[in-house]
Structure 1
Amino acid sequence: MEHKTGLEDYYVIRGQKKMRFGYTTGSCAAAACKGAVNMLLGDEELPYVSLMTPKGIELCLELHDIKKEDNKVTCAVKKDAGDDPDTTNGILVYATAERTKEPGVMVDGGIGVGRVTKPGLSQKIGEAAINPVPKAMILREAREAADSHDYEGGLKITISVPQGVEIGKKTFNPRLGIVGGISILGTTGIVEPMSEKALVESIHVEMKQHFTQGEEYLLVTPGNYGADYLREHMDLPFERNIKCSNYVGETIDMAIDMGVKGILFVSHIGKFAKVAGGIMNTHSHSADSRVEILASNAIRAGGSLECAKAVLNSGTTDEALDIIHENGILEDTMKEIMTRIQFYLNHRSYEQILLGAVVFNNTYGYLGQTEDAAELIKKIQAQK
């Protein structure tokens, strides 16, 4: 009989499909802790534990790889991310509980749990990357288990994720100065599938760290293309760039709320052609219109009807730019595009902060920059 976790009736509909909920690494750690402490202080081996999550959903989670020693017990819970794409799905999150002479409960990270090396995060430098809510969950489960066994001594809880050493390298953690593994995460204890919130929150965390370190003017790229162009072609501190993915609008909103003074975006035309049409989430599921925006601006630049039709029939922005270039209006079209990117960036921010963009593609390289980009470049260089 298949074990039921308590999430069987929780799902969302995405693209006419049912997408299962999952549970976080924080829930795994707290459940493993509950199991380890109860088995340390009691006699019986537990096959599973119940866990009430901050979201109000009670989970029933299996315990794996149970190891009992004289003064400590280790067990693990397997992460299930539901139908959310997650690099930690299926990994084992371990908790080791051991008695200590010192009173109280101490929580630390072991192998595969990252260590903080830079300021600006929820944890201090040198601490394990266990976020506040998961840590509170772990402490609560340890204390409740101790109380249920009338145990008044101290406990040390060590959370470890053996696979986390390699997985951590694929996450945002190295950029945040978290080394050696993954973070133990989750504010609700539950993973909602295809959640944009998680990615936007990771951008917020990275932005906060840069701002805390004194960077009032931020360097932002949507992805690897922008980061590569920045490293190879611009005299700016490449290592300080923040990746915003498709969330241009949310990045601006968070920066304003944080007190950031300006953002320079460095982007491939494939993303920022959309911004020239006022599209602030550049994912193709949200909106496209790249060739339509390029065609309309080619007309503004003096292009013919045939030129505009050819652009509209092109499959990619690179192909569209080749057509515009062949018609001798690439420079003028890009000036029109830059004017509109600047307008819509300012419109999003209500001109509360300084915003600009440098735009390129792989064929022609530098395509142009918006009106306020030069000033932003100077201010970012001055922060070196």
Structure 2
Amino acid sequence: MGKSYIYKNRKKLRWGYTTGTCAAAASLAAAVVLLRRESVEQVQIETPKGILLDLEIEDMKAERDWVSCAVRKDGGDDPDVTNGFLVYSRVSRENPFKDKWETRKSGCYEYKNGTLHLFLSGGMGIGRVTKEGLSCEVGKYAINPVPRQMIFSQVEKVCRQEGFQGSLWIEISVPEGVEAASRTFNGKLGIEGGISILGTSGMVEPMSETALLETIRLELRQKALEGQSQVILTPGNYGQQFIKKAMGLELEQAVKCSNFIGATIDMAVEEGVKGLLLIGHGGKLIKVAAGVMNTHSSVADGRMEVLAAYAGAWGCKKELVRRLLSSVTVEDALRQMDAVEGLLEGVMRQVTEAVDRHLKGRAGGRIAIETVIFTNERGILGMSCGAAGMLKKLRCEKPYAGMGRISPVGNRF
């Protein structure tokens, strides 16, 4: 099969394929060489999405009882930290473990069908799961369910074709995965020592939101499983810095939700979180005052329109409303409001109330939710009425540094 493309925002983007697809293809090649004793330069594999891929085999090594093959990861036009990495599979007749007890303790996976018994483990660069809430059990190698099924299926197919009965041991490794893991969310999610072998469709969709949303969901799930009833949400790095330096809270209590405010609320409900405190920069959260639940600039803006509308409702002159509408940044608009006594406080009070109203509307009574709006230059611009109480609960759960007095909606310090 040739390259596959998708059009997004009028751009032609190339699909890639996952580490799971690479591992399955490398396992297929290694099994063919081991059982048929013939060289393989390319294999064809059908992904769960139904797309056929012809993948080149690299760095093949063969001995009497084992074969190792590699496939190079291609992320298409949405490359991640694993793009270009070689994903290896070593298929062996030799049992690397002393006995059944050591096999179980190793964290490997097993597949048995009749007289065929396959074992799957991770080698260099494959992480181990250390926290609950992931799709792999604690102590197991981070090889997700769909890639596991793909690997077992490809090796079983060759075994059936060649009439092989007995046991084979499959080891997946990504030598560059140890270093690459430090540039992923893995450590925070509870995967230590390497990367995960991922994929549900076998393909990497360019500019896909799915992977990011799944990461957010996993973090929420783990917070709930660890007994954290209240979770801090921050859209980005500004929020993370602010909660630590200005509010004395712990980053371990926070989940970074990016632009997906509404989707994160929904997922928090589904994962059993009891309360959310959204702490975000005004440049993001002012959009929520207009009911915008995905704050990415490609989806919606409306920040200046919100500020201008509330300034007009407060009673400021038309000329200032026009200047607010033409402001380039939120800070520029706030500076213009400083010129009228009481305007900024009055507008931010109404904005915060609107944000609070829309957040609670999305939550629909299913979860407690409060908000804090800030800017780097001015600190807190607004807090919903229940935010101080939720902050108190969060501080009871974790040690914190002292901070100044916090007042409800619209006040600054």
Q: TM-score range by the shorter chain?
A: over 0.9
Normalised by the size of structure 2, how large is the TM-score? 0.87
Native 8 Å contact 1:354 1:376 kept in 2: no
Matches within 5 A, 1:307-346: 307-328=320-341, 329-346=343-360
The residue that corresponds to 2:370 in the other structure is: 356
Native 8 Å contact 2:221 2:272 kept in 1: no
Q: Distance in 2 between matches of 1:350 and 1:309?
A: 36
Residue 125 of structure 1 pairs with residue 119 of structure 2: no
The residue that corresponds to 1:60 in the other structure is: 54
Q: Distance in 1 between matches of 2:314 and 2:225?
A: 43
Q: Distance in 2 between matches of 1:210 and 1:296?
A: 38
Q: Distance in 2 between matches of 1:206 and 1:184?
A: 18
The residue that corresponds to 2:42 in the other structure is: 48
The residue that corresponds to 1:76 in the other structure is: 70
Instruction: Report SS of the residue matched to 1:288.
Output: coil
Matches within 5 A, 1:1-384: 6-8=1-3, 10-101=4-95, 104-328=117-341, 329-384=343-398
- Per-residue CA deviation, residues 120-175 of structure 1 (Å, 9 max, x unaligned), is 21112222111111111111112222222222232221111122222222221121
Native 8 Å contact 1:119 1:212 kept in 2: yes
Native 8 Å contact 1:100 1:153 kept in 2: no
Native 8 Å contact 1:79 1:91 kept in 2: yes
Equivalent position amino acid for 1:213 in 2: E
Q: Distance in 2 between matches of 1:277 and 1:7?
A: 45
Instruction: Report SS of the residue matched to 1:326.
Output: coil
Equivalent position amino acid for 2:193 in 1: G
The residue that corresponds to 1:3 in the other structure is: none
Instruction: Report SS of the residue matched to 2:301.
Output: coil
Normalised by the size of structure 1, how large is the TM-score? 0.94
The residue that corresponds to 2:408 in the other structure is: none
- How far is the alpha carbon of 1:184 from its aligned partner? 0.9
Native 8 Å contact 2:127 2:193 kept in 1: yes
Equivalent position amino acid for 1:75 in 2: C
- How far is the alpha carbon of 1:368 from its aligned partner? 1.6
Equivalent position amino acid for 1:63 in 2: I
Q: Distance in 1 between matches of 2:200 and 2:370?
A: 33
Bigger Cα displacement from structure 2, 71-80 vs 85-94: 85-94
Instruction: Report SS of the residue matched to 1:182.
Output: coil
Q: Distance in 1 between matches of 2:65 and 2:9?
A: 51
- How far is the alpha carbon of 1:25 from its aligned partner? 0.9
Q: Structure 1 residues 19, 338: CA separation in 2 closer, same or farther (over 3 Å shift)?
A: same
Instruction: Report SS of the residue matched to 1:218.
Output: strand
- Per-residue CA deviation, residues 283-303 of structure 1 (Å, 9 max, x unaligned), is 000001111112222233443
Native 8 Å contact 2:65 2:94 kept in 1: no
Q: Structure 1 residues 343, 91: CA separation in 2 closer, same or farther (over 3 Å shift)?
A: same
Instruction: Report SS of the residue matched to 2:93.
Output: strand
- Per-residue CA deviation, residues 284-327 of structure 1 (Å, 9 max, x unaligned), is 00001111112222233443322222221211112111212233
Q: Distance in 2 between matches of 1:73 and 1:326?
A: 75
The residue that corresponds to 2:407 in the other structure is: none
Cα RMSD (Å): 1.7
Q: Distance in 2 between matches of 1:156 and 1:378?
A: 53
- How far is the alpha carbon of 1:253 from its aligned partner? 1.1
- How far is the alpha carbon of 1:7 from its aligned partner? 4.8
Aligned length: 378
Could you list the runs of 5+ residues in structure 1 that have no partner in the other structure?
1-5
Equivalent position amino acid for 1:121 in 2: L
- Per-residue CA deviation, residues 312-344 of structure 1 (Å, 9 max, x unaligned), is 121111211121223332222211111000010
Q: Distance in 1 between matches of 2:373 and 2:2?
A: 45
- How far is the alpha carbon of 1:185 from its aligned partner? 0.7
- How far is the alpha carbon of 1:272 from its aligned partner? 0.4
Native 8 Å contact 1:120 1:213 kept in 2: no
- How far is the alpha carbon of 1:232 from its aligned partner? 0.7
Q: Structure 1 residues 85, 306: CA separation in 2 closer, same or farther (over 3 Å shift)?
A: farther
Q: Distance in 2 between matches of 1:47 and 1:341?
A: 58
Q: Distance in 2 between matches of 1:212 and 1:239?
A: 14
Could you tell me the percent identity over the aligned residues?
46
